[in-house]
Structure 1
Amino acid sequence: MGRKVVEQRARVTHALEALRHRIGLALGAAGNAHSDAEHELTKLRLEQLVLSVGLDRAGTDSALAEYRGDPAMAAVLSWLESVRSRFYADWADGPDELRRLVASAAPGPAGRPPSEWLGKLGTEDGPASPGLWRIGEASVDGASVGRTPGTTLSFDVAVPLLDESHLSITSVPKTRATVDALVENLLMRVLSTFAPGAVKVHLWDVGQLTAVLPNFYALSRTSAVTVHDPTRLVDLLDELAGHIRRIHTQTMQAGYASLRALREATGKRVEPWRIAVLYGNGEDLAPEHLRDLKRVASGALAAGISLVLVDVPTVLGGSVETISLLDDRRAVTSMTGAGVEVRLDSPLPGGQVANAAARIAEAIVTRQGGPRSFADLLPTEFGQECSARELRTPVGFHEGEPVDVVIGDATPHALIGGPSGSGKTNFLYALLGGLAARYSPDELALYLLDFKEGVSFAGLAPGKKDESWLPHARLVGVNVNTDREFGLALLRFLSDEMRRRSAAAKEFEVTNIAELREADPNGHWPRIVAVIDEFQYLFAERDSVTAMATSLLEDLARRGRSQGIHLILASQDIAGIDAFWGKPAVFEQCTLRIAMPKARRVLAESNQAAVSAPRWHAVVNHESGVAHGNQLAHIPDASGKNTFPVLQRQLWQRYASHGRPRLFDGAVAPRLDELTAFTALAPGSSRPRALVGLSIEVADNAHGVELPAAPGRNLAVLGSSTAEALSVLDAATRSLARQHAPGTAEFVLGCAVDRCLDDVRALGDDLAALGHKAPVVPASELPALIAERAAQLSEADGECYLVLYGVDAVLPALEHKEPGRPSGLDHLRALLKQGPVKGLHVLGWWRGVARLKDTLGFGGTEDIGAWVALDVQGSELAAFCAGQVVHWAPRAGRALFFDRSTHASPEVTVPFHRPEADHA
C-alpha cells in the first residue's frame, strides 16, 4: 500500500514539473512575442513619423530628434531608403510619365502656364471636366531613378477637384498669402476653362466679412462668386444641402446615380459646377456645423459640388486630397506623398486676375442677355411636344438660363400665391403661353376660371374686338366671384372626366394616362390643366357648396394625376382658408409651388425666399415649398399689349378647327338667341320645354321645364324683380313657341302689371309674327279670361299656354265671389290643377311667396311643378321644395330654379338678357 502511494506521488510530481516546464516555455514565448510586437510597433510609429516629415528631412527634423540614437530608427531609415531605391530603380521614367499624365489630364488652363490663358474666356461647355488641376511642381535627384547623379528631374503636380475630390489645405504661420494664391490659382484655372457661368464659387471665411479673394470682386457682382456671412455658416451649409437634395431627386428620377452620370449620358451640362471654399482658423467647428459639413461632403461630389477646406480640422467623407504647407513656397500633398516636396506655383499677377475676373463677369452678363422677353419663352416650332409623360415649359429666366415648370406625375398640381400687383396674372400668362406653344390642343386642354372681379382670362375667348381665341381653352370663366356654383360645376365636370378616364384605363388594363394613350392611340386623351384663380372664393361660406367643393377638390388632387388631370390653384392670400387647412391632402398634392414676391404660406413655413424676391420675379419650387427646391426666375412681360394676343392669333390660325371655348362671364347676362339649347329647338316635340335661364355648368346648357300633358306641369316665377320676371317668362314663352308649328298652339298673355304692358305686347307681336295666336289681355279682363278658360277645360283641344304677369295684382278681383257661383280664384285653381292634363299650362309670376300660397290654397302646392325664385329668401321656399331647407340669399342677375320632377334640390340659374331691355 505504501509503495503504491509513493509511485502515485511520483507521477503527480512528474506531471507538475512537466506542466511548470511547459508554462515556462509559453511565458517565455509570450514575452518574446510581446517584445517583438513592441519592437515592431515602435518601428511602425517611427516609420509613420518619418513619412510624415519626409525621408530627406528625417535627419534634421526636430520631431525626430529624440529617436536619432535609437537602433530602431536606424533600421527604419535603412529600410525606407532601400524601399525608395528599389522603387526609383524601377521608376526611371517616372518623372517623364508624370509630366505626360498631368499634361493629358489637365489640358488648357487646367495645367498650362498662366501666360497662355489668363485673361481669356473659357469655351468648354460640355459635360466633362479636366481630371487634374495644376498647383506646382516637384523634383527628384537623377541618381534615385537610375539617371545621372546630380541631375534634377522635375514633374508637374496637380490635384483632382470637380466631380473627383474635395481638397483640404493646412497652412503654417504667416502663409495666408500663399494659401490665397494657391486657392486663387485653382479657381482661376477652373473659371478660365469653362464657358462663363458654368461654375459657381462660394466663399466663406470665419475671419473676414468681405474681401475674401479681393481680385474676384467683379465676379461677386454676378452669381459666379458668392461671399457668405462669416457668422452664418449654417446658411451656406443649408444651401449646399438643399442643392444636393434637389440634384439627387432629379438624377434619381432620370435613372442616374450622379450629376456627372447624367451629364455624360445626355452629352450636355444641365447644372453648373459648384466650388465651396471654407476658410477656417485651425479651430474645431461647432459640433452642429461639423455634423452638417460632413453630411454635405458625403453627397456633394455626386451633386457637382467640390469643397475646398482651409485650416478646417475635420475628416471628410468621400474622396479628399490634402495639401500641407511647409512654408510660404513648399508643401507636401497626398497625391505625391510626404516624401516629395512640392514647389507651389507663383501667385498669379493680381492686376491680371482682377482684369480676367472682370472679363468673365462681363461675359456672364452678356450671356444672360439682359431682360428676356415673352418671345424667348416660345419654341421655334409650335406644337411639337408630346404630353403623354408630362407637361414642361420655361416660365422665366435665371442668369440667362431658362427656368422650367414641370406638370406631371411627380408634380401633379400647383399652388400659386402672391399679393395684388405681384405679377401673378402675368405669371399665369407666361405659363399658359409656353404650354400652348409647345403642345397642340390634342395634347393639352385648358379650363380657366377667374373668381375675382376681373377679366384676366376673358381675352382667351372670342370677343367683339378680337375674334380669335386660345384653341387649347375649352372653358373660360370670368367675373364669377359671386358664382361659387360655377367653380363647383367645374370640379364636378373634372371628377366625371376622371371617372371616364379611369374606366377606360381599366378597360385597357393600364394604370395611368401615358399607358392609356399608348394602348388607345386613336383615343382623345389630352392632359387637362384646370386653372382656378382666386380659388379661395369657392370656400367663402360654411355651406353645402364649400363642403362639396372641398370633397371634390381633395379627390381630384389625390387621383387626378394618374388620369392626366392637373389643378393650378392661384390666390392673392390663402391664409384664411379654414376649409383647406383641415384638408391637408390638397396641399400635399400641390408639390409645385410658385411664390410671387411677398407671398405668404405658399412655400414651406421656414422658406422665406419669396420675402426677398425682387419685382417681376417668382420663386419656382417643385419640392412642396422646401427651401432646397427654390429656383428664382425673372418672368418676362406676358400680359402686355400686343404680347400674348400675337401668340394667340398665331395659334388660332393654326388650330381654329378645334372649336371655340365656352365663355361664362358672370357679369354679362346670357342671350337666349345665342344659346345652342334655344337655337336647336324645333317643332314636333311631345314634351315641350320652356327655357327659364342659363345653367351654371361647364357645358353651355339651359335650365328648362318640360310641359307634357301631366298633372302639376305649371311654372311659377316668384319675387318682386320685374326685369328678371319678364326675362324668365319671355324666355319660357319664346322657347315654347319654337317647338310648335304656326297655328298649333295658343299663347294667352295676361298682364296685370301696367308698367309691363308694353313689354308683354312686344312679345305678343313677335309671337304673332311667327304665326302663333298670341292675344294680350289687360288686368281688367283677366278674371273673365280665367273663368272662360276654366269653363272650356272639358272641351280643351290643342296646346295652350296661359302666361300671367303679376297674378297677385288681380287676386282681390279673383277672390270676389257671388253667392252660389265659384270665384275667379276657384277658376284659377281649377286651371292649375286640371289644365296641364288637358294641354293648358299656366306660366305665372307672383310677386311674393305668400301671395302664391294664397292663390293655391291648402294643399295646392303640388299644382306648381316647377318654380323660379328671384329676390326671395330661401327660408320661404320650403313648402315648394318638399319641405327641405333651402339655402338661398338673393343676388342680382341670379335666380333659384327647382323642378320637382327632375331635381333633388334647387339649382342656381342665370336669367337671360332681353333685347327689349336695351331700348327701354
Structure 2
Amino acid sequence: MGFSKSNEQRTRVMSALDAMRQQIGLVLGAARAGREVAETELAGLELEQKVVHAGLDEAAQDEEILAALRRPAMSQVSSWLNTVRAQFHTDASTVPRRLRELVAETSAGAGRLPPGEWLGKIGTGSAPPELWRVGSAALSTSDPRDRFDVAVPLLDESHLAITPAPKTREQVDALVEALLMRVLSSVEPGAVRVHLWDIGQLTSVLPNLYPLSKTSALTLYDPTRLQDLLDELSGHIRRIHAQAMQAGHTSLRGMRAALGKRTEPWRIAVLFGNGETWATEPLRELKRIAGGAHAAGISLIAVDVPHVLGGSVENIRLLDERRVVTSMTGPNLVAQLDPAIPSGQVSGAAGKIAEALIARQGGPRSFADLLPPELGKANSAEELRAPVGFFEGDPVEVVIGDSSPHALIGGPSGSGKTNFLYALLGSLAARYPPDELALYLLDFKEGVSFAGLAPGRKDATWLPHAKLIGVNVNTDREFGLALLRFLSDELRRRSTAAKEHEVTNLAGLRQEDPDGHWPRIVAVVDEFQYLFAGRDAVTNQATALLEDIARRGRAQGIHLILASQDVAGIEAFWGKPAVFEQCTLRIAMPKARRVLAEANTAAVSAPRWHAVLNHDSGVAHGNQLAHVPDASGKDVFATLQRRLWDAYADEHDRPRLFDGAHSPVLEHVPAFGELKPGGAVTALLGQSIDVEDTACGIELAHAPGRNLAVLGTAAAEALSILDSAARSLARQYEEGAVEFLLRCPVERCLPAVERLAEDLVAHGHRAVVLDSLAPTLAELVAAEPETAKILLLYGVDAELPSLEVKEPGQLKSGLDHLRVVLKQGPGKGTHTLGWWRGTARLKDTLGFGGNDDIGAWAALDVQGSELSPFAAGQVVHWSPRPGRALYFDRSTHATPEVIIPFLRPDRENP
C-alpha cells in the first residue's frame, strides 16, 4: 500500500517535470525567435542609418550596403528605401517650386530680385521683407528648374553669423555689401542705420558704401574703439526699452505695429573679426546686446567672430569662394553665392540714397521751423516740451519736468551756446503763454545776450514771458544771489500752498487750485560760475541756495538752466555733487568738455551749429545730436518777440531789466515816484541789487544816530549818493518845512553842490551853500530849530583843521559843536549827511565812543577790513569796485549790502 502511494507521487512529479521542460523549451524557442527578430530589426535599423548618412545616391554605389540589402532578411529595408526614393522623387519635383513661392511671399522687391531691377532706385517701403536673398541652391544639378532662392532673415527677425573660408574676405565683403544694399534699397531713406567696425582695418571697410557716411545712415568706428560701438548699442537698447515699456509694449516692433508708423530707425551693426577670441568683458557685453537687440530693432552681422551670440542667429559658412552652407537650408545642401555687385554700381546707388536722405530731411532748417502753427496752446502743468533743433529732418526736443528738472549747458566761446539759448527760449515761449511759463534770465558775462528781450531805445517790445532780465552782472555776484533768494522764497510759497492742498507736485497744485497763478518758472543763468568766483559769503550762500532749489524745485515747477563755458573750474561744487546730479538734462555744444558724463566724448566731434542733447545725466546712450538753426541773427528772434508782444503785452508788465554796466537814474526808480510829504522821511541813496526794482535808503527818524557817512575818495559816487539823498528828501517835505545847509570845502566838487542847491530852491525849499561851517554849527547847537534841517557836508575831513581851532574866548571848537549836532541833532530834526574821504578822519571827527552817532554809512573805495569798527565789530567782506557802494544801516541790516549809486542828472565827473 505504501509502495503504491510512492509510485503515484513519483508519477505526478515526473509529469510536472515534463510539463516544465516543455514550457521551458517553448520559452527558449520563443526567445531565440525573438532574438533573431530583434537582431534582424537592429540590423535593418543600422542599415537604414548607413543609408541615411551616406545618402540615397551614395548608398546606391556602396558595395557593402548593396550586399546587405540583398539579404532576404533586409527585404523590408529594401522596400522602405524604394518607398522613400519614390516619395523623394515625387516631392523633389515640387520642393523647389514651393521654396521659390515661400521666398517670394516673404521677400519682395530688393529683398530677392536681381540687382539690376532695384539697384540705384530709392526705397519707399515702411515694412521691410522678412527674408533677404544671398544666393541659390538646387536639389540636383541636372534640371535648372530644381534651383531655388537661398535667403536669410534680418532686421527684427535674426542676427547673422558669417564664417569665412581661407582667402575669402573679398567674397565676404561682397556678400555683406549686397545684403546691406538690399536692405537700404527696400525701405525709405533714413529708416535703417548701419554701423561698421573692423578689428583689422582703419579704412576700406566696405568702401563702396562710404557715400552714405555724410549722413547718419552709415557710421564707421575706429578698430581700437569697439567699446564706443558697444556703448552706443547698449544705450540704444536701454532707451528703446524704456520708451516701449512706458507705451505699454515689449518691443520696438510691437510699438511700431500699434502706432502704425516707424518711431525709430532699424540698426544693423556689422562687426568684422579675425577669428581670434575676444576679451571677456567685450564678449560679455556683445552677448548682452545680442540678447536684447531684436526688441530694440538692432540686428548684428558678425563676420569671423568665433562666439555664440544671444537671441535668434542664422549662420552662413563659406566652403570656398562661391559655395556656402547656411543654417536655413541645413548642412547637407550646398548653396551658390550670388555674384558680387560691381563696386561702381554699389557706390553710385549709395550716393543716390544719401542724396535722397538729405533731400528728405528738407535741407537746412530755420528758426521758424521750431515754432508751432499757433502760439500759446500748450499747457505746462505736467512738463515743458519744445524742439530746439533737428536731426535728419526730425525735431529734437528738450523736456523739462519732474524727470529732467534742471539743465546744464556747456560750450566754449563761439560754440553757439547763446544761439542755443535763444532757440530754446523762443521755442518755449511760442508754445506756452506767459501764464504757463515765467522766465528769469541772468547773464554774468560782459555782454547783452538777453538785453534784446527787454524794451530798448530802438525796439520798444519785450518778451512777455520774461519777468527778470539781468545783463552785464559779471561784477555783481550779489544779483545772482538775489535771484536765488527770490527763487527760494517762491519755492517756500509753493511748498506751503501744496501742503495746504495736500498735493506733492505742481500738476496737483494747479488741479486743486485752478484760480491760483502757478506757472512753471525757468531761471537761466549764463556763466553761472561767476556766482562762485570768490571764497566768501556770497559763494557760501549761493551754493546752499542753489543746492536746495535744485533738490526741491522739481516738485514745485521751478527749473534751473545753468550755462557755462568751462564747468571744470567751479571749485565751489567740488565734493558737493547735489546740483550736478539734479541736472539730468545735459546739453553740450561742439568741443565742450565735462558737461556730459566723463567717458562721453560725443561733443568733441560734434559739427558746428550742432548740440548734443542728453536727458540721462550725460550717459552716452542718451545722446541726441541736433542741428540748431540760427535763432540769434538779426531780426530772427525779434520777429517772434513782436508776435508774442502783440499777443500778450497788454496783460503782462514789462520785465525788470538790471544792467550792471549802467547806473540807474533816480527819477526812473518806482520808489522815487512814490515819495510824497507825510509819513516817514527816507533819503534814497542807491539801487538795491535785487530782483525787484527797489531803492535803498536811510530813514531819518527823530532818533539817535540817524545820520549818514559816505566813506572813500571816489568823488563821483560820493556826490551821487548825497545828491540822490537830497533830491529824494526834497519830495517828502512841504515847501518851507525843511532847510538844506550845504558845505563843500573841496574846490572841484563845488559846482555840483551849487547846482544841487539851485535845484532844491527850484523845488520850493531853502537851500544855502555855506561859506564856513563853524558858525552854522554853533547856531544849531545854541538854538532849537524851527524847521527840519538837512546838513549836507562834502569832504568833512578837509574842514576838520578849521573846525578844530577854538576861537578866542570860546570853550568849544567847531568840531565839538559838530559832535553835538551828530549826537543830539536827529532828535531835534537835524540830520547830517556827510562825506569823509577816509575812515581814520571819520574816527577823528566822532571822537571816543562816537561811532553810534553815525547810524548808517556807505563805503566806496574803502577796504572791508577798515569798516569793521562801524559794523558792530563783524568781519566785513568788501573789495571796492567802480560804481558800487557798500551800505550798512545798523537799525535794519544784519550785514552790509552792495548798492548802486544813482546817476547824477548832470552826468559829469567833478
Q: Please name the residue that 2:17 is paired with.
A: none
SS at match of 1:190: helix
Deviation for aligned residue 1:843: 1.9
- Higher Cα radius of gyration: 2
Q: Please name the residue that 2:475 is paired with.
A: 482
Deviation for aligned residue 1:485: 0.9
Q: Please name the residue that 2:770 is paired with.
A: 778
In 1, Cα distance between equivalents of 2:895 and 2:604: 46
Deviation for aligned residue 1:911: 0.2
Shift in alpha-carbon separation, 1:94–1:514, aligned structure 2, 3 A: farther
Shift in alpha-carbon separation, 1:719–1:204, aligned structure 2, 3 A: closer
In 1, Cα distance between equivalents of 2:809 and 2:824: 24
Q: Please name the residue that 1:225 is paired with.
A: 218
Deviation for aligned residue 1:57: 7.6
Q: Please name the residue that 2:633 is paired with.
A: 640
Q: Please name the residue that 2:427 is paired with.
A: 434
1:768-811 residue CA offsets vs partner (Å, 9 max, x unmatched): 2222x22213232x222222222223xx4453322222333333
Q: Please name the residue that 2:676 is paired with.
A: 682
In 2, Cα distance between equivalents of 1:61 and 1:870: 114
Equivalent runs, 1:664-679 vs 2, <5 Å: 664-679=658-673
Q: Which amino acid aligns with 1:805?
A: Y
SS at match of 1:915: coil
Q: Please name the residue that 2:436 is paired with.
A: 443
Q: Which amino acid aligns with 2:665?
A: R
Q: Which amino acid aligns with 1:670?
A: P
Deviation for aligned residue 1:221: 4.1
> Is residue 396 of structure 2 the alignment partner of residue 396 of structure 1?
no
1:533-559 residue CA offsets vs partner (Å, 9 max, x unmatched): 222221121111111111111212222
Shift in alpha-carbon separation, 1:562–1:707, aligned structure 2, 3 A: same
Deviation for aligned residue 1:95: 7.2
Moved more, 79-88 or 182-191: 79-88
SS at match of 2:474: coil
Shift in alpha-carbon separation, 1:205–1:683, aligned structure 2, 3 A: same
In 1, Cα distance between equivalents of 2:418 and 2:80: 78
Shift in alpha-carbon separation, 1:755–1:161, aligned structure 2, 3 A: same
Deviation for aligned residue 1:43: 9.2
Match of 1:595 among 579, 588, 594: 588
Q: Which amino acid aligns with 1:630?
A: N
Moved more, 346-355 or 670-679: 346-355
Q: Please name the residue that 1:806 is paired with.
A: 795
Q: Please name the residue that 1:826 is paired with.
A: 816
SS at match of 1:560: helix
| Contact 1:797/1:838 (8 A) holds in 2 | no
In 2, Cα distance between equivalents of 1:919 and 1:752: 17
Q: Please name the residue that 1:498 is paired with.
A: 491
| Contact 2:96/2:145 (8 A) holds in 1 | no
> Is residue 856 of structure 2 the alignment partner of residue 860 of structure 1?
no
Q: Please name the residue that 1:704 is paired with.
A: 697
| Contact 2:528/2:564 (8 A) holds in 1 | yes
Q: Which amino acid aligns with 1:787?
A: A
Deviation for aligned residue 1:75: 11
Match of 1:849 among 839, 847, 855: 839
Match of 1:285 among 262, 278, 283: 278
| Contact 1:531/1:569 (8 A) holds in 2 | yes
In 2, Cα distance between equivalents of 1:738 and 1:680: 9
Shift in alpha-carbon separation, 1:379–1:552, aligned structure 2, 3 A: same
| Contact 1:491/1:553 (8 A) holds in 2 | yes
Q: Please name the residue that 2:879 is paired with.
A: 889
Equivalent runs, 1:747-766 vs 2, <5 Å: 747-766=740-759
In 1, Cα distance between equivalents of 2:343 and 2:874: 86
Match of 1:584 among 561, 577, 580: 577
Deviation for aligned residue 1:392: 2.8
SS at match of 1:779: coil
Moved more, 796-805 or 314-323: 796-805
Q: Which amino acid aligns with 2:832?
A: V
Q: Please name the residue that 1:276 is paired with.
A: 269
Deviation for aligned residue 1:664: 1.0
Deviation for aligned residue 1:881: 1.2
Q: Please name the residue that 1:908 is paired with.
A: 898
In 2, Cα distance between equivalents of 1:561 and 1:66: 83
Q: Please name the residue that 1:511 is paired with.
A: 504
TM-score (norm 2): 0.86
Deviation for aligned residue 1:369: 4.0
SS at match of 2:766: coil
In 1, Cα distance between equivalents of 2:890 and 2:251: 65
| Contact 1:167/1:320 (8 A) holds in 2 | yes
Q: Mark the runs of 5 or more structure 2 residues left unpaired by the alignment.
A: 1-37
In 1, Cα distance between equivalents of 2:352 and 2:119: 11
Q: Which amino acid aligns with 2:677?
A: P
| Contact 2:93/2:146 (8 A) holds in 1 | no
> Is residue 708 of structure 2 the alignment partner of residue 718 of structure 1?
no
Q: Which amino acid aligns with 1:842?
A: T
1:256-296 residue CA offsets vs partner (Å, 9 max, x unmatched): 44333443444433332110122334443344432232122
Q: Please name the residue that 1:15 is paired with.
A: none
RMSD over aligned CA atoms reads: 3.8
SS at match of 1:650: helix
Q: Please name the residue that 1:836 is paired with.
A: 826
Equivalent runs, 1:20-169 vs 2, <5 Å: 59=59, 102-112=103-113, 114-124=115-125, 126=126, 128-136=127-135, 157-169=150-162
Moved more, 862-871 or 541-550: 862-871
In 2, Cα distance between equivalents of 1:185 and 1:84: 38
Q: Please name the residue that 1:612 is paired with.
A: 605
Moved more, 690-699 or 510-519: 510-519
Q: Which amino acid aligns with 1:728?
A: I
Deviation for aligned residue 1:155: 6.1
Moved more, 99-108 or 489-498: 99-108
| Contact 1:54/1:338 (8 A) holds in 2 | no
1:701-752 residue CA offsets vs partner (Å, 9 max, x unmatched): 1111112222222222222222111111111121122222333333333334
Shift in alpha-carbon separation, 1:850–1:177, aligned structure 2, 3 A: closer
In 2, Cα distance between equivalents of 1:582 and 1:275: 42
Shift in alpha-carbon separation, 1:283–1:546, aligned structure 2, 3 A: closer
> Is residue 805 of structure 2 the alignment partner of residue 816 of structure 1?
yes
Deviation for aligned residue 1:86: 9.4
Match of 1:535 among 522, 528, 542: 528
1:850-895 residue CA offsets vs partner (Å, 9 max, x unmatched): 2222222222222222111122222222222111111112211000
Q: Please name the residue that 1:309 is paired with.
A: 302
SS at match of 1:536: helix
In 1, Cα distance between equivalents of 2:326 and 2:667: 88
Q: Which amino acid aligns with 2:409?
A: I
1:365-386 residue CA offsets vs partner (Å, 9 max, x unmatched): 3234444333333333332333
Deviation for aligned residue 1:306: 0.4
Identical amino acids, percent of aligned pairs: 68
> Is residue 653 of structure 2 the alignment partner of residue 659 of structure 1?
yes
Q: Please name the residue that 2:870 is paired with.
A: 880
Q: Which amino acid aligns with 1:110?
A: G
In 1, Cα distance between equivalents of 2:210 and 2:893: 74
Deviation for aligned residue 1:656: 1.8
| Contact 1:671/1:914 (8 A) holds in 2 | yes
In 1, Cα distance between equivalents of 2:448 and 2:302: 56
| Contact 2:438/2:521 (8 A) holds in 1 | yes
Q: Please name the residue that 1:188 is paired with.
A: 181
SS at match of 2:790: strand
SS at match of 1:447: strand
Moved more, 255-264 or 855-864: 255-264
In 1, Cα distance between equivalents of 2:150 and 2:788: 105
SS at match of 1:202: strand
Match of 2:190 among 186, 194, 197: 197
Moved more, 231-240 or 884-893: 231-240
| Contact 2:585/2:616 (8 A) holds in 1 | yes
Q: Which amino acid aligns with 1:855?
A: T
Q: Which amino acid aligns with 1:776?
A: V
1:679-722 residue CA offsets vs partner (Å, 9 max, x unmatched): 1222222x112111100111111111112222222222222222
> Is residue 778 of structure 2 the alignment partner of residue 787 of structure 1?
yes
SS at match of 2:704: coil
